[in-house]
Amino acid sequence: MKQYDVIIIGAGQAGSPLARKMAKAGKKVAIIEKRLVGGTCVNDGCTPTKTWVASARAAYLAGRCNNLGVQVDGYSIDMAQIKKRKDDIVMHSRSGNQKSLEDDPNIDLLFGEASFSGHKVVVVNLNDGASAEITAEMIFINVGLQTVIPDIEGLNSIDYLTSTSILELETVPQHILVIGGNYIGLEFGQMFRRFGSQITLLERGPRIMSHEDEDVSHEVHNFLEEEGIAVFSNTEATKFEKDAHGRIQATLNISGRTEQMEVSHVLVAAGRKPQTKALNLQASGIEVDDKGFIKVDNKLQTNIPGIYALGDVNGGPAFTHIAYNDFTVVWRNLLMNEDLTTEDRPVPYCMFTDPQLGRVGITEEEAKKQGINYRVAALKMKSVARAVEVGEVRGLMKAIVNADTKEILGVAILAEEGGEIMSVLQMAMQGGITYDRIRYCVFAHPTYSESLNNLFMTLDDK
């Protein structure tokens, strides 16, 4: 059995940078990847989807630039080219990442599936058919999530799409039924609508984006419908059948009413679950919760000293920047003798619909539940000079502030560059800059950030 200093399972958003840092510190590292270096983010997640969102936005602009006085005589979608551009960008990122691991003399990159066979012993079923047993005192599990496939009659008999397989399409589907009304469903739903598909989107809860405030979710619902997407909440698909012509017949339960619908494709976007079953964690005594997420403490260590779980698999917020932050926490603690925890770290995120939703901190609903003496500053984008000038007036800005201390507690920016505007406020929140100072801060005119003056002017306390 080969002994390493460090074993990393999964070359995702935490595993790959950690391997490089550990190797730089002189440790002998084995990193095991069953599929593709870079994990979900690079290969099936952020990079490919945001590349396609950009193509979809170009199509959207081509379709409406007449309003700006620019005449375009029709446009068409070249899905094969859109896919090729995405594949090139993904490949560039993946291969750079892979090369940096392969070129490091202290790192062994093993392509295969890892599982535990004993206390701190890992078996790797290598992709070439061989297997290897390895051990290390320090083990980091970074295996990420996989798509949840809901138990719906007939779903397995149709060639349904997931967020991974949809990225292989080279033609634009005629009609996609999207199951799930949150990040994946909304991003893909809007982008394929802009590519020319008919989209029907089902959300089983009472509204899409159920974790957001109702006004924010309502605004998104409205602009999706405005673009021609049919959004059904309180709705589930109950049965799928393929007819003799290869068309999919879907049976839907819409608020208790049964309806039939014919579609060409079904995209499953109903959530993601941890890839822990195959790891045989019990062989090393590692505890998981009832959903299969690995339990960790605030320094990301499991119940077994020396074994850590990083990124999506530990059940924290499932974002690339959080997986990356997990890496920085363990690296700085273990190699730089710092004493960092994951407690109280900010969790910003951005949903890349267009307009984007940039979010950080608490929602109004959460402020209410926590009994905080809060106030809400809100501004529609149609009142923002920059938005009017560029013709992007859909959306709103909303900030939850503490009425006593004037601290900003949470922000939702639904705007063309909502993620960037939110980040300006995140910096203010982290730096303790209260809203009354931002109200009179001098920002360049006419930027989106300048509108933060007006956002906080709506709180008329001074």
Ligand X SMILES: Cc1cc2nc3c(=O)[nH]c(=O)nc-3n(C[C@H](O)[C@H](O)[C@H](O)COP(=O)(O)OP(=O)(O)OC[C@H]3O[C@@H](n4cnc5c(N)ncnc54)[C@H](O)[C@@H]3O)c2cc1C
Ligand Y SMILES: NC(=O)c1ccc[n+]([C@@H]2O[C@H](COP(=O)([O-])OP(=O)(O)OC[C@H]3O[C@@H](n4cnc5c(N)ncnc54)[C@H](O)[C@@H]3O)[C@@H](O)[C@H]2O)c1
Active site amino acids: 445
Judged by CB under 6 A, the residue of 6, 8, 9, 401 near ligand X is 9
Beta strands in 127-168 (DSSP E): 131-141, 145-147
In angstroms, the CA 302 to CA 387 distance is: 47
Question: Is 173 a binder of ligand X (CB under 6 A)?
Answer: no
Q: Is 274 in the site for ligand X (CB under 6 A)?
A: no
* 182 annotated to a ligand binding site: yes
Residues 104 and 119: their CA atoms lie apart, in Å, by 28
- Helix H or strand E encompassing 116: strand 107-118
Task: Verify binding: residue 46, ligand X, rule CB under 6 A.
Answer: yes
Which of 311, 355, 361, 418 touches ligand X by CB under 6 A? 311
Q: Which one of residues 177, 184, 313, 409 is an interface residue with ligand Y (CB under 6 A)?
A: 184
32 binds ligand X (CB under 6 A): yes
Using the rule CB under 6 A, which residue among 271, 285, 306, 315 binds ligand Y? 271
**Which of residues 250 and 379 has its CB atom nearest to ligand Y in the complex?**
250
Task: Give the DSSP letter of residue 247.
Answer: P
369-377, long-range: CB within 8 Å, 24+ apart, which pairs? 372/402, 372/409, 373/402, 373/403, 373/404, 374/400, 374/401, 374/402, 374/403, 374/409, 375/400, 375/401, 375/403, 375/459, 376/400, 376/401, 377/401, 377/435, 377/455, 377/456, 377/458, 377/459
The dihedral over CA atoms of 117, 335, 94, 196, expressed in degrees to the nearest 10, equals 100
**Contact status: 160 vs ligand Y (CB under 6 A):** no
CB 141 within 8 A of CB 308: yes
At a CB cut-off of 8 Å and minimum separation 6, what does 446 contact?
385, 386, 389
Q: Which of 7, 161, 179, 309: binder of ligand Y (CB under 6 A)?
A: 179
Q: Among 55, 97, 98, 163, which residue interacts with ligand X (rule: CB under 6 A)?
A: 163
Residue 271 annotated in ligand binding = yes
CB of 22 or CB of 309, closer to ligand Y: 309
The window from 58-66, 329-337, 343-351, 368-376 that contacts ligand Y (CB under 6 A) reads 343-351
Q: How far apart are CA 250 and CA 258, in angstroms?
A: 10
- Looking at 60, 111, 223, 349, which residue binds ligand Y (CB under 6 A)? 349
Per CB under 6 A, 162 contacts ligand X: no
- What are the tokens at 337? 């003798």
CB 419 to ligand Y: min, Å: 9
The label of the residue with tokens 């109950």 reads 238
Quick one: which segment of 40-48, 203-211, 254-262, 433-441 binds ligand X (CB under 6 A)? 40-48
14 binds ligand X (CB under 6 A): yes
Structure tokens at 438: 């931002």
- CA 37/CA 100 separation, integer angstroms: 11
Cβ(341)–Cβ(348) under 8 Å?
no
Binding site for ligand X (CB under 6 A): 9-14, 32-36, 39-41, 44-46, 49-50, 113-114, 142-144, 163, 184, 275, 278-279, 311-313, 318-321, 323, 352
> Which residues are annotated binding-site positions for FAD?
50, 312
> Which residues are annotated binding-site positions?
50, 180-187, 203, 271, 312
Binding site for ligand Y (CB under 6 A): 150, 179-185, 187, 202-205, 210, 236, 269-272, 318-319, 349-352
